[in-house]
Chains A and B, each alone.
Chain A
Amino acid sequence: MLTPLQPSRVRRAARWADVRHRGLGMIAYVLNRITGIGLVVYLYLHLAVLSLLAGGPGAWDPFITLARSPLFLVLDVILIAGWLINGLNGVRVTLTGFGVGVGSQKAMFVGLMVVAIAGLIVMALMVFGG
């Protein structure tokens, strides 16, 4: 039996999402969490959509038209942003967890986020450029 969550406990647990008056490290932590939660939701949505493949071409092929619509392409770009932020921030967390670059975490975070923005622009152009 799971311990029931008390309202005060929930408030305390949700405090991580409040980045007001917090440092850059907290912003990095919250960004990783939000993108991580979004990517888990996407993973299961993706697996659910792939179940159409079990229905053969009659079920899958009509979905392709929808997947090529501008709305889906915008969602693809949001997804790519989530991957880049979570992935590159994850590289920083992994490196520092193994003792690499601990003293230059802020610079590493800023640098990796610049790479994420550059990567996002390139990939968005690829998505919309066909």
Chain B
Amino acid sequence: MNDRFEQKQTPSWGWFWQAITGIGLIVLLALHMIAHHFVVPEGIRDYAGVVEYLRTPIIVVLEVAFLVTVTSHALLGVRAILFDLGLSERSERRISQALTALGVLTVGYGLWLTWTITRQI
């Protein structure tokens, strides 16, 4: 346990999906940052700017894809940390279910917020 580089990794489906969403995040986070902050003169849009930004359907698709990807990646990471506590199989199953529910709620909230803003258009 002295050096993690020496340990042999045994990838699980959770690890695999975290890797896949991580790769997706490199692209989606970069797009999100450029579109939301770097090309905006003062670094953040006012309300009218946000509404205008979400007027383009492809932007809405990319933002929703970003939300789903970042939420999956984050909650898979939380799952991995909790699993390292050495819990029982039953507890691990409950944690997976709870985190899945939290992920669905998070994405649902994001969709509701996007819908609420785009209704202003």
Contact = CB atoms under 8 A, between A and B. Distances in A.
Nearest to B19: A94
A47 B109 contact: yes
Nearest to A103: B5
B77 A3 contact: no
A12 B120 CA distance: 52
Given A68-B42, A127-B43, A53 B84 contact: no
Interface size class of B (residues with CB under 8 A): 35 or more
Contacts, number: 110
A interface: dominant SS = helix
Nearest to A30: B4
Contacts of A25: 3-7
A124 interface: no
A26 B1 CA distance: 8
Q: Report the interface size class on chain A.
A: 35 or more
A37 B34 CA distance: 24
B46 A57 contact: yes
Given A3-B91, A39-B74, A53 B26 contact: no
Which 4 A-B pairs have CB atoms at the shortest separation, nearest pair first? Answer: A23-B3, A25-B5, A25-B4, A57-B47
Interface in A19-52: 21-26, 28-29, 33, 36-37, 39-40, 43-44, 47, 50-51
Interface string A49-79: 0110110110011001001100000000000
A49 to B, nearest CB: 11
Interface of A: 2-3, 5, 9-10, 12-13, 16, 21-26, 28-29, 33, 36-37, 39-40, 43-44, 47, 50-51, 53-54, 56-57, 60-61, 64, 67-68, 83, 87, 90-91, 93-94, 96-98, 105-106, 109, 126-127, 130
Contacts of B9: 96-97
B84 A56 contact: no
